[in-house]
Amino acid sequence: MTGVQTCALPIYEKMIREVLAEYMTVTGYEVSECETGDEAIALIDDKENDFDLAILDIRVPGKSGLEVLKYIKGIYADTVGTIMLTAYEDINTQLEAFNYMADDYITKPASPIILLKRIEAVLRRTGKIKNSNGGGGVKPEQDIPCEELTIDEEGYRAFFGGKNLGLTVSEFSLLKVLKDSPGRVFSRDILINKIFDEEYIANDRIIDAHIKNLRKKLPKEYIETVIGIGYRWKEEQ
């Protein structure tokens, strides 16, 4: 498949659903939210939609997440991947989900970065992503303009001189936040809030570590340290 991957999110807790939807949208996915199992089935059955993945909560009003999973795998097993995102940690529930052919099972709270990687892994297994770099709308490297830093937002990649810089999800997110606002100084706390989910626990030194790794991969000194405050992207390159 080319183009952006589309995902359905039948998750009962509104805050978790909205945060996850926003995070996935920022990283290049098209997301449809719903609150109940019946709404999820209606979304997936709608011929105007073409979902690649469903992220299912188990405890939702109406049909449960397991019932939705069973329905999806009974009709769309070859086209729609499934990830269970739930608070249920017991072995019996996990076995039931895998017996219904769930592609993955993740317990809450989940790191958004790890969740994105698990999503990419499922999409690769189902043939929706054809390479290990992940993301939809991936452009061939030969189409990337040379001698400049180029961001492929849908593919979650950055290039310089046609070469993929091989950034991690966190490094890419950090790069995009800084590059989108050249000259603006971002404190470490602001960068943490922009890059990580509010449920993700991190101290400000994790930003320093990511900046250090990002600088090693960038071909030029794009990022400046503002002592006592944080970091900024140089205005002129």
Angle of CA points 132, 115, 82, to nearest 5° = 85
HEC string of 17-82 equals HHHHHHHHHHCCCEEEEECCHHHHHHHHHCCCCCCCEEEECCCCCCCCHHHHHHHHHHHCCCCCEE
Q: Where are the domains of the chain?
A: 6-125, 141-233
Judge whether residue 22 has pLDDT over 90.
no
- Span 141-233: which CATH code? 1.10.10.10
Instruction: Say if 6-125 and 141-233 have the same CATH topology.
Output: no
In this predicted structure, what is the pLDDT of residue 136?
42
In this predicted structure, what is the pLDDT of residue 6?
65
Lowest-pLDDT range, 36-50, 125-139, 219-233?
125-139
* 228 contacts: CB under 8 Å, gap ≥ 6: none
Q: Which residues pair with 213 in a beta bridge?
A: none
In this predicted structure, what is the pLDDT of residue 141?
39
Judge whether residue 129 has pLDDT over 70.
no
In this predicted structure, what is the pLDDT of residue 144?
38
In this predicted structure, what is the pLDDT of residue 96?
92
> Domain 6-125 class?
alpha beta
Binned at pLDDT 50, 70 and 90, residue 33 comes out as confident
Q: To the nearest whole percent, how much of the chain has pLDDT over 90?
A: 25
Q: Which residue has the tokens 């209606």?
A: 42
What's this model's pTM, rounded to 2 decimal places? 0.53
In this predicted structure, what is the pLDDT of residue 164?
86
Q: Edge to edge, what strands does the sheet with 53-56 contain?
A: 30-34, 6-10, 53-56, 81-86, 104-107
Q: What is the mean pLDDT of the chain?
A: 80
* Token pair recorded at residue 29: 């996915």
